Structure 1
């Protein structure tokens, strides 16, 4: 397996549970790219604006998270801090569409008055007269979730984790992925496997394009995945200022349990560049402090950037790569990698093991999407 973010770790854990032997490689340490950099909201932002393909995965994953995080705590002693804190949306104008979506998918949305808003979040800036409240939306401390997943995977005797291991190419012979050429600590080697699964996030498209195919045709354009940078700020406050997640104009505030508040997030198409910028810092701070004025008296203690795996309509690629018997992909979740991870991992493992999936796999099938996908769609 190539890529040890939340998707890769969950796929590995599922396969190991089914008795497989797994070698999981990552170019850095496990979970240090987009999975670590995000906010950990267990819901798409403005979920009614997404396709049914995204909603189907999100619904399954949201239902799976309570048991998953409880199991990880029991297995590893690491608490991912799953908490159903709710999501307050202050700016959504398409209220009727949201309420219709809520009714169809039994995900509760309540319309709140000014009194209800400020009874719940007393520190918000004044002037909000209505909002929508999703009480069941949860948040997870994603760095701790990743630590717990790594520990869980590593506890299986049939698991091998290779960190700081860069995959140079995947060798294709006779319509099968025969091996991966890797470099670890300056030493090149080949890893052979009966199946290869690529869960490399924003790097997935590049890796598949660069595959060595011998005498066969070059397998470019297998998936349309591009890196999309997002920057975040972390505030430390003197006292708790928020009880739940607050969202306005695409920017959000997420309270943590130790007087920390995450402020996110920017969105920038910028190739593989994770450089943080003063412009993003200023913009994020203005949004955050405009929502929660008390943050202006708090300290910004960190700023970072991650690269989301952007894909057409934010629909991930999940399934077997066309024309190859044993090469699979699970990537392209865009802004919803953590949200969709348990369900997309389960779907991929069902496909790999020949089980009947409980979600229709066709919207995510790389072979079915290849001819029509584009970032303009």
Structure 2
């Protein structure tokens, strides 16, 4: 049986990875090039920004995923020659107004986290001076990050080499084919692809695609703008660890570049960058790291996150449509949750014991009265 996967972001790529490793034949369809949307545009922090503020549904996936990344990154590096650059240098939280809640969460989860004062901050990250660090913050030494564009490239290269995987890039899916309450394939710009099982991993576009078949999945685009700074030659890396304050973060890369992010904007599918966001991001970055006043803004971009209620993804088979599965709506945490979310959907598709309780992620039921007439017109 061949599984069709719609969407070549990290969720789609890792889903294909999981299924292929389990001996399944997979065809992945991507309208452009794989891993060039939200998977490319994000920052690569392998944790929700403020994990203690999320529901248990998100935390369960995050806990399982966190321990997978070191081994996954090393395996991809060895097999493809592309290093995702996983780093476990920790995260420094500044200006935290719910530190007691954070510390309780860390204790319950068995995560190392401690309060730090201004002197500790200066010792942990000497380049961070003044501004929001004056009252100290929290230090989580075990948090990691990856260079997400390299992770996407490595996953794509791995799948290209796998004998059970076919990548179909530059191919747009126009409609799901659904007949008599069962998915039968996809209608694309280059004809129909038949399959008994379809997995929708189309990120911010998942809700729009499913709506064409009368399936209401509340996944909508949420724009995020980011920038990257390139320090001057000979200055050395001005930052060693991820630093977070007031919802804005700085992420150091191995080559010395520094990312700053990000905005949260409800602007539909518009990915236009704006002057106001540029000014705001630049101000936040320089407040956290004054050395960036001398750095060059190398690139400013925007991506679209797949927003969902409470940031809880939809994972599983769509009720009333046999063979149609969804793995979408991860909001800001697609990369964070990807190992567990893709393992869970593979477990459900293959009838294995789920790695986590699937109940919190169940997709809403399709409106059978709408599904079949629409499918007949297309398929």
Fold conserved between structures, TM > 0.5:
yes
> For residues 214-233 of structure 1, what are the structure 2 equivalents within 5 Å?
219-221=214-216, 223-233=217-227
Match of 1:308 among 302, 305, 309: 305
What is the CA–CA distance in structure 1 between the aligned matches of 2:7 and 2:188, rounded to whole Å?
A: 13
Residue 136 of structure 2 corresponds to residue 130 of structure 1: yes
CA RMSD across the alignment: 1.3
Q: Would the aligned equivalents of 1:362 and 1:368 in 2 still touch at CA under 8 Å? A: no
Residue equivalent to 1:40: 44
Residue equivalent to 1:120: 124
Residue 22 of structure 2 corresponds to residue 18 of structure 1: yes
Q: Would the aligned equivalents of 2:228 and 2:297 in 1 still touch at CA under 8 Å? A: yes
Residue 216 of structure 2 corresponds to residue 210 of structure 1: no
> For residues 171-182 of structure 1, what are the structure 2 equivalents within 5 Å?
171-182=177-188
Residue equivalent to 1:214: none
> For residues 223-372 of structure 1, what are the structure 2 equivalents within 5 Å?
223-238=217-232, 239-367=236-364
What is the CA–CA distance in structure 2 between the aligned matches of 1:352 and 1:30, rounded to whole Å?
A: 23
What is the CA–CA distance in structure 2 between the aligned matches of 1:173 and 1:260, rounded to whole Å?
A: 51
Cα offset for 1:124? 1.3
Deviation per CA, 1:271-315: give whole Å up to 9, x if none: 001011111101100100111111011100100000000000000
2:143 aligned counterpart, secondary structure = coil
> For residues 148-167 of structure 1, what are the structure 2 equivalents within 5 Å?
148-167=154-173
Residue equivalent to 1:142: 148
Runs of 4+ in structure 1 over 6 Å off: none
Cα offset for 1:369? 12
**1:169–1:368 Cα change, 3 Å:** closer
Q: Would the aligned equivalents of 1:171 and 1:179 in 2 still touch at CA under 8 Å? A: yes
**Bigger shift: 120-129 or 25-34?**
120-129
What is the CA–CA distance in structure 2 between the aligned matches of 1:220 and 1:3, rounded to whole Å?
A: 17
Residue equivalent to 2:374: none
1:263 aligned counterpart, secondary structure = strand
Residue equivalent to 1:375: none
Give the structure-2-normalised TM-score.
Answer: 0.93
Cα offset for 1:358? 2.1
What is the CA–CA distance in structure 1 between the aligned matches of 2:212 and 2:364, rounded to whole Å?
A: 18
Q: Would the aligned equivalents of 2:93 and 2:243 in 1 still touch at CA under 8 Å? A: yes
Deviation per CA, 1:117-152: give whole Å up to 9, x if none: 001111213152311011111010001101110011
1:190 aligned counterpart, secondary structure = strand
> For residues 55-134 of structure 1, what are the structure 2 equivalents within 5 Å?
55-127=59-131, 128-134=134-140
What is the CA–CA distance in structure 2 between the aligned matches of 1:369 and 1:326, rounded to whole Å?
A: 13
Q: Would the aligned equivalents of 1:85 and 1:243 in 2 still touch at CA under 8 Å? A: yes
What is the CA–CA distance in structure 2 between the aligned matches of 1:243 and 1:227, rounded to whole Å?
A: 32
Give the structure-1-normalised TM-score.
Answer: 0.93
Q: Would the aligned equivalents of 1:363 and 1:369 in 2 still touch at CA under 8 Å? A: no
What is the CA–CA distance in structure 2 between the aligned matches of 1:195 and 1:294, rounded to whole Å?
A: 52
